[in-house]
Each structure stands twice: as structure tokens, then as C-alpha cells.
Amino acid sequence: MSEANGAGEGSALRYGVIGHPVAHSLSPVIQAAFAREAGLAIDYVRILSPLDGFADAAQRFFAEGGRGLNVTLPFKLAACAFCGPHASDRARLAGAVNWLAWTDEGPLGDNTDGIGLVGDLARLLAGADALRDQRVLLIGAGGAARGVVGPLLDRYPRSLTLVNRDPDKAAGLVSLFERPDVLGCTTFDALADASFDVVVNATSASIAGQRLPLPASLFDGVALAYDMMYAAEATPFLIEAGRAGARMTADGLGMLVEQAAESFRLWHGIAPETASVLHGLRLTLTSATVR
């Protein structure tokens, strides 16, 4: 695995992750582990795109022989536009693409964030059916939240409630799905009188170490409080949730590995084993901070 501008070399198939910034991305480590296990020769690079030059950078990568890209912040919406009509239904519904592959017809786009989240929730809650009949709160209405609403609904929760700092964005997202029987939104103020089984933080507040305006009562008896952000140390959201009575807390490292596994499967037709990769990444993340 190397860090480069996408130019091809040797016989390894070229893949990459494109973003701004991108140096922090763990995707090359994960994809390298999957490729080793599958016995595939793959060169997976980090590509730093100018903020105003995503389409050019992606186009150049594919023109130089690149086979596929993962897309990270802040280009998931631009990647959806880049694919035009060749984005999958779930990506178009999300309005966000984090997976690209080159085909004869041009770039094909998909969104693997939702599969990543529900896969990790199934791992943590011990079963693919674990969300059935559960009351789920999703905090946030940005790119990540948009990608996970559909896959969460596919797991038959009793209710899926969205809350966002900008309530119009949450209402707009809810309206895309036409599922008033299950899907709705609320306000931060109203959370004092609400209860849920699973609470998912899909905001970027944790990146800045910011606290969300959540009542402590929200976490009392909650089966799982999940923060999509991952870090060596527990985020403010997870610390508060644990103190206020959540029975289990988890960050998004497992989601990252699961969405990467789905990317790998879509590109290569092989579903990689994820448990050992997650374990290794967790150790790396923790020891990087201790040092």
C-alpha cells in the first residue's frame, strides 16, 4: 500500500480512498488486510483531492487505470453527482456515494455506510434480527445519517426517530422515505420525555469534542449507545451514555471495518472476514495513543 496521486505502477490492481483530508484514513490498512487474506495483489492508495477538484481527481485516477475508489469527507455528495444515473438506488436515496467502480459505461456508485452500521449493530447486539421491534434514535441528518436510514428501516425497528440540530434537515430526510408508520423526527427538547432501546450518534460533534444537548434520562436502560465516530478514547457522547445508564457503548470502528468489507465484496466478489481486522485495528489505535 502506498500514498500517491493515483498513477499506476506494476501489475497490482489500483484502488484508493479519496478525501480532504485523507492522511488519517484507515481504509488502506483495512483493504490491505482483506487483500492479503484473499490472496489478491492490490495497490490501495490515499488520494488527497483539492476541495474544489473532486471530479477531476477521480476522473484522473480512473483514466490512469484505477479500478475503484472509496470516497470520504467531504466528497460523498459530489461522488453521487459524479456517477449521474449510475448510482445505486440506496446511494441515490442517501444522496451520498462512498464507493466507486469504473465500468464501460463510466463510474458506478454505491453507499456501503448503512450496511456497515447494521452489520456492526448485529455484531454488538448478537444477531442480524436484533433491531426488530426496537425503538431506535438516530441523531444527525448529514451524509452518514442519510446513508443509514434505509438499511436501518430494512431491519424492522418498531420506530426510527431522527433528531438534528437543524430540524428542517431531519424532516427533509424523513420525507424521502414515506414510512410514517415507523419513521419520524423529534426535537432535542422533546427527548426528555422519550425512551429508546438503541441510540446512534451520527453527528460530527464528537470530532470537535462537543457535547450534544441530550438529557441523561435518554440513556437510562438503553441497550446500546453507539457513536459513529471512532477514536482511541471514548467520545464525550459515549462517556455520558455510560455514566447515565446505557448497558453497552461502542464507537464506529466496527462500522468502518464492516463498510470496508462491503466495499471489498462489491469490487472483488469476496466477503472478507472482519473480526480479526477489527481486533488488530483496535490494538493499533489504542497503542498509537499510548505512545
Catalytic residue at 169?
no
- Asked if 252 is part of the footprint of ligand NDP (rule: CB under 6 A), the reply reads yes
Q: Bridge-partner residues for 45, per DSSP?
A: 16
Contact positions with ligand NDP (CB under 6 A) in 61-100: 73
List of E strands, 80-182: 99-103, 106-110, 135-139, 159-163
- Asked if 282 is part of the footprint of ligand NDP (rule: CB under 6 A), the reply reads no
- Asked if 142 is part of the footprint of ligand NDP (rule: CB under 6 A), the reply reads yes
5/177 with CB nearer ligand NDP: 177
- Asked if 163 is part of the footprint of ligand NDP (rule: CB under 6 A), the reply reads no
Element (H, E) at 143: helix 143-153
User: Which among 209, 218, 210 has a CA at the least distance from the CA of 188?
Assistant: 218
Segment contacting ligand NDP by CB under 6 A, of 10-18, 26-34, 176-184, 250-258: 250-258
**In the complex, residue closest to ligand NDP by CB:** 142
- Grid cell for residue 6: 493515483
Pairing of strands 13-19, 68-71: parallel
Contact residue for ligand NDP among 94, 214, 229, 281 (CB under 6 A): 229
Q: Pick the catalytic residue: 14, 67, 76, 86? A: 76
Smallest separation (angstroms) from ligand NDP to the CB of 39: 26
Three-state secondary structure call for residue 14: strand
Q: What is the DSSP string of 268-289?
A: HS-----HHHHHHHHHHHHHHH
**One character per residue 256-275, x = contact with ligand NDP (rule: CB under 6 A):** x--x----------------
Measured torsion, CA atoms of residues 181, 187, 191, 194, in degrees rounded to the nearest 10: -20
Would you name the residues annotated as active-site residues?
76
Q: Which parts of this chain interact with ligand NDP (CB under 6 A)?
A: 73, 113, 116, 140-145, 164-166, 169, 202-207, 210, 212, 228-230, 252, 255-256, 259
